[in-house]
Structure 1
Amino acid sequence: MELRAKRLQRKRIQLEQEVEHLTPKQSGGVWGDLLWFALQSWQVWAAAGLLVLLLGLYFFWRKRSNEAENSSEEDEEHVSDNDLKWLLDEHIQWPVQDLQRGCERTIDLMDNYTGFFGHVLANSFYPVLERAIGVGSAFEGWSPREQDVVYRVLIPMEPPRGHSFHLELDSAGQRQVRNFRVRVQLECTCRRKQQAGDMLCFLHHPKEELRRNQDPSLLDTLCTGSYLDVHKTARWFRQLVKAVWPALPQSHNWHLVLLPSTRSCQFKVMNREASVRIEMLFGVRRGDSDIFVSSQPGYAGTPSTLWTETYDVAEMKFFKHIARRAPPDSLHLKCLQLFSHLQLGTGFSTYTMKTIVMHLLNTIPVSRWRRRHFLRRLGDINVKLRCCLEEKCLNHFIIGNKRLPQEIRLPLDIASAEPPNLFHHLAWYPAAHSQAMSEYQDLQHRLASVLLNGC
């Protein structure tokens, strides 16, 4: 702001000098004579002409001033090469992790795991595991934390032979979180005996024969009643990861450490040079869409048979869509990263900041997120957050969004739904709204401190 004020001051001085050059040099005598002549009745037309000249000069000066102000954005190009480069590269400390390298290592490991899973589970009646999909901030290209980046992957599950999955919406769930149950149903395989090989039909063969000659069905291993159990599935994943690890090529140079978790499989792989933390989520795809029901943590006390609807894959594909169209010096991810880092410790969630930036990326052309627009886009994020807090409304980005790229596939009920309000609690609880506004002021102070003093 100080640099901008100095530039405008220099422009103003320059314009005043230009105006002085356009007026007569002996201003005192000339203006006195002109005024005396203007008072003479027989020189009214001359005075009128003088007035037109003065007005013309005034409006000329105003036009040049406006042009100077309007050209401030172009001037930012020159500032960005110096001051913005210093601000971005030296003044602000960004996370030092090589996210791209970490994502590549994670996907390589997951591909090796998936290949061995296929061999181990080929003739079993456990879920069929598909190729892992990288989701979350790291695979979107940013991270809110300077340390402890989590590389999150989602592993789609298909029903094994003789089984089918049926998703049932839990109507008792919270309005802002949709939960499903995955009902496992046995299917008749009598007519598909040749395709199923030596498989016995779970429905029509005697139970004693099934127990003696065939592995148990999925209902007897990972289900509670007729529904797939998240906790049992997570324990099964942990056992698989530990058992298969010695066969992987990464085991020669990395050390595996399993981490405690109940609804996912979390672990670290470490060597002398690096440590990569990975979280494996598992889920069932809704039809042929990019929406899944997954094992990600829900609200406290979520029953083990409830699977939360997740939009992680759709959001990841949106960021990939933006990345393909962004100019090389686009800073949309740095804007998101900075705000997400600043909100740590406040009542705002990382997902709130991500949602705001996604909405802005969907309305502001990606060409307007370049280095020279950095401060303007930070201002846009700040203003958007303030407006959402004042209106107590922040719409979900995926649900009901009619402007998503065509490559993102949504179920019909998601595409046509009314987007839920992520700030609905602010409208119901005045104390929560007052607290949020106070935390917004704190966030503004943090942002000002970073831009002025660095971080």
Structure 2
Amino acid sequence: MPAGIFRVCLVVITAIVNHPLLFPKENATVPEDTEEIIQRMKEREENLRLEQLRLEQEMAGQESIQKALEEAPKLEEKLEEDALRWDLWSAMSMVVFLLIELWRQDFQDGNWQDWAGEEDDMAILGKAFKGVALPNKATLANFYERCIVGVTGEMARMREMVEGFADDLLEALRSVCNRDADMEVEECIGVGSMYENWRVRKPYVCDLIVPFTPPEPYRFRSQVWCSGDSIPPDKQGYGTIKVCRRDEDVAGCICDKTKLGEDMLCLLHSQASQTRHNSEREDLLCFNNTQYLDADQVMKWFQIAITKAWNRISHKYEFDLTFSLLDSPGALKIKFRSGKSIAFNITPVVQCEDSDVYFISHFPRSGLTADPSSNTYWFLTFAVYERRFIHSLSKTLPANACHLSCLQILSFLHEKQCSLSGPSGLTNYHLKTAMLHLLQTRPHQDWAPENLEARLQDMLKFLEKSLQEKKLCHFFIGNRKVPEELGFPGIFQKAEPLNLFRSFVLHRDIYQKTVDTFHEMLRNTSALINEYTVHVPIEHTNGLHKESL
């Protein structure tokens, strides 16, 4: 800026000095042509004016640059203040959204899977169901009488036969095992549709679970995803089983977690004892150099033990026993000489603390197994509580209640549809879960036998809505309304609900196939029922139906 002022002053001084009237030159003579001189002066004056304007513009530009430089820190501070204000608003928005989400979850816990209050939403969501005309009561009664009722007596005889043979087989297994080094098996427990009296699919298969425990002085310590242990977030519904000594601290010694140097020795444990404990745990079916039970090793141990037990008692029976599925630990098949066969499953499980929840490594026929990338994660099964809930609730429902009839009809229809259009992601366990939800939300009198058609419609609508939302909550996990008389563990009751349709969110192709199969089943419901129905007079049908239920 000072340089610009100096240049302006220099131009003005030069103009003054060179002005001919103020400083005339010596020996100069006045030109004869005065007009020409005046014209030159005007031109020079114009040039000087233009130069002055240019200099003023240059000075103004420098002043604006200087001003911008001076205001830059203030602008930066203002931008920082705006950014801070924006971050504050973003944080407040996130807090508001988080509070809304927490309120929504609390509201869900308070009205857990409360389908009875969502009939208005169902009227909008059940678009596919609107065009479905279910058969009338008489046709449903005929269908139930012909296809389902006759299986009850056959299932009872099969359960009795399988349980007797399983008890004999497990007793032989105990005799061939080393009580001081091998796992100890307990009495078998019947679970699933055969023991809940709603299975309709043939061949009938009994599902038995067998708890086992480690030999002295070891014990199993359960670690589930909702207990705060180190279980990954994607393992909701899973847990691990730690093999500990009974006199061992739960936290364990630090030498189990740290590699000690050659010149260092734990004051409580010697290196020799550590090596011995590791080799013992390998014998106790633990995963590589860890304290966690390995599902694959358990499966191999159980199959070998079953084979030894059968070799000991095979001479007592006039049939053969084989493994029907090699990737399932106790999928067995009895083959008679006549050619007939009976399939059943004996699956080893681990009790979760002092409850009737069990860790299970394989689900027979369902394809559900522990994570293939790690054999230390076991799925939790609540089958014992499910059976107990159904049996206890049946005592409070009307005589000949239709809840199991609805489940049997729906299971039958879904199986027939899958035989036509291929396998579906919807399983019988999903159908049973829908029935359990409706049993808890519907008044008991609504399950009278004459309401079979209406309750079947409710189950279909409930499933359609769940498929559209890709959400079907596990009945027990996160359900605060489980009856206290069941003795259900509070840790699972207070946990976040487990979405059984979570896989549909990750696998769109399976989800689309499941939805298409379900909608196809809705359209074919009348045809499927009529195909398997014997047409008899309505009066006679109603009588048969009431007696059979």
3-state SS in 2 of match to 1:227: coil
Matched residue type, 1:305: T
Number of the residue aligned with 1:223:
286
Number of the residue aligned with 2:388:
317
Matches within 5 A, 1:93-112: 98-112=154-168
Matched residue type, 1:306: Y
1:117 to 148, 159, 173: 173
1:348 deviation in Å?
Answer: 1.9
Distance 1:90 1:262 in 2: 36
Number of the residue aligned with 1:446:
524
In structure 2, relative to structure 1, the CA distance for the partners of 1:274 and 1:251 (3 Å cut) is farther
Distance 2:383 2:233 in 1: 19
Contact 1:259 1:266 in 2 (8 A): yes
Number of the residue aligned with 2:464:
386
In structure 2, relative to structure 1, the CA distance for the partners of 1:96 and 1:274 (3 Å cut) is farther
Distance 1:220 1:91 in 2: 50
In structure 2, relative to structure 1, the CA distance for the partners of 1:421 and 1:336 (3 Å cut) is same
Number of the residue aligned with 2:360:
294
1:246 deviation in Å?
Answer: 4.6
1:368 deviation in Å?
Answer: 3.5
Number of the residue aligned with 2:409:
338
Asked if 1:282 is matched to 2:353, the reply is no
Distance 1:97 1:301 in 2: 40
Contact 2:413 2:521 in 1 (8 A): yes
Number of the residue aligned with 2:298:
233
Matched residue type, 2:387: M
Number of the residue aligned with 2:182:
126
Matches within 5 A, 1:83-232: 84-90=140-146, 98-121=154-177, 123-143=179-199, 145=201, 147-169=202-224, 173=232, 175=234, 177-187=236-246, 217-224=280-287, 225=289, 226-232=291-297
Matches within 5 A, 1:363-374: 363-374=441-452
3-state SS in 2 of match to 1:404: coil
Matched residue type, 2:450: R
Name which of structure 1's ranges 403-412 and 349-358 shifts more when overlaid on structure 2: 403-412
Matched residue type, 1:182: I
Name which of structure 1's ranges 354-363 and 95-104 shifts more when overlaid on structure 2: 95-104
In structure 2, relative to structure 1, the CA distance for the partners of 1:162 and 1:348 (3 Å cut) is same
Name which of structure 1's ranges 312-321 and 241-250 shifts more when overlaid on structure 2: 241-250
Contact 1:157 1:282 in 2 (8 A): yes
Distance 1:299 1:349 in 2: 18
Distance 1:316 1:222 in 2: 30
3-state SS in 1 of match to 2:441: coil
Number of the residue aligned with 1:243:
308
Number of the residue aligned with 1:260:
325
Contact 2:478 2:497 in 1 (8 A): yes
Distance 2:173 2:414 in 1: 40
Matched residue type, 2:217: G
1:133 deviation in Å?
Answer: 0.9
Contact 2:221 2:353 in 1 (8 A): no
1:155 deviation in Å?
Answer: 0.9
Distance 2:217 2:184 in 1: 12
Distance 1:91 1:238 in 2: 36
Query: What is the TM-score of this pair, normalised by structure 2?
Result: 0.57
3-state SS in 2 of match to 1:417: coil
3-state SS in 2 of match to 1:98: helix
3-state SS in 2 of match to 1:398: coil
Contact 1:285 1:293 in 2 (8 A): yes
Matched residue type, 2:296: H
Distance 1:173 1:231 in 2: 20
1:371 deviation in Å?
Answer: 3.1
Matches within 5 A, 1:37-116: 84-90=140-146, 98-116=154-172
Number of the residue aligned with 1:358:
436
Query: Tell me, which stretches of 5 or more residues in structure 1 are unaligned?
Result: 1-78, 190-202
Contact 2:425 2:510 in 1 (8 A): no
Number of the residue aligned with 2:483:
405
1:90 deviation in Å?
Answer: 3.4
Matched residue type, 1:330: A
Distance 2:361 2:511 in 1: 31
Name which of structure 1's ranges 379-388 and 257-266 shifts more when overlaid on structure 2: 257-266
In structure 2, relative to structure 1, the CA distance for the partners of 1:101 and 1:92 (3 Å cut) is closer
Contact 2:176 2:308 in 1 (8 A): no
Q: For each residue in 1:304-332, what CA deviation from the matched residue of structure 2 results, as whole angstroms up to 9, or x when unmatched? A: 22221222222122222234445553332
Distance 2:146 2:320 in 1: 35
Distance 1:238 1:91 in 2: 36
Q: For each residue in 1:33-83, what CA deviation from the matched residue of structure 2 results, as whole angstroms up to 9, or x when unmatched? A: xxxxxxxxxxxxxxxxxxxxxxxxxxxxxxxxxxxxxxxxxxxxxx96x65
Name which of structure 1's ranges 444-453 and 296-305 shifts more when overlaid on structure 2: 296-305
Q: For each residue in 1:218-266, what CA deviation from the matched residue of structure 2 results, as whole angstroms up to 9, or x when unmatched? A: 5425222222222222122122222222544894233211233335221
Query: What is the TM-score of this pair, normalised by structure 1?
Result: 0.68
Name which of structure 1's ranges 264-273 and 232-241 shifts more when overlaid on structure 2: 264-273
Distance 2:314 2:394 in 1: 32
Q: For each residue in 1:267-288, what CA deviation from the matched residue of structure 2 results, as whole angstroms up to 9, or x when unmatched? A: 1123238522121211211122
3-state SS in 2 of match to 1:164: strand
1:173 deviation in Å?
Answer: 5.0
1:397 deviation in Å?
Answer: 0.5
In structure 2, relative to structure 1, the CA distance for the partners of 1:105 and 1:429 (3 Å cut) is closer
Matched residue type, 1:165: F
3-state SS in 2 of match to 1:152: strand
Superposed CA RMSD: 3.5
In structure 2, relative to structure 1, the CA distance for the partners of 1:363 and 1:268 (3 Å cut) is same
In structure 2, relative to structure 1, the CA distance for the partners of 1:139 and 1:250 (3 Å cut) is farther
3-state SS in 2 of match to 1:343: helix
Name which of structure 1's ranges 364-373 and 395-404 shifts more when overlaid on structure 2: 364-373
Query: Tell me, which stretches of 5 or more residues in structure 2 are unaligned?
Result: 1-135, 249-268, 363-367, 419-423, 534-549
Name which of structure 1's ranges 431-440 and 313-322 shifts more when overlaid on structure 2: 431-440
Name which one, 1 or 2, has greater alpha-carbon Rg: 2
Contact 1:165 1:183 in 2 (8 A): yes
Contact 2:370 2:378 in 1 (8 A): no
1:149 deviation in Å?
Answer: 2.6
Matches within 5 A, 1:414-425: 414-424=492-502
Name which of structure 1's ranges 396-405 and 339-348 shifts more when overlaid on structure 2: 339-348
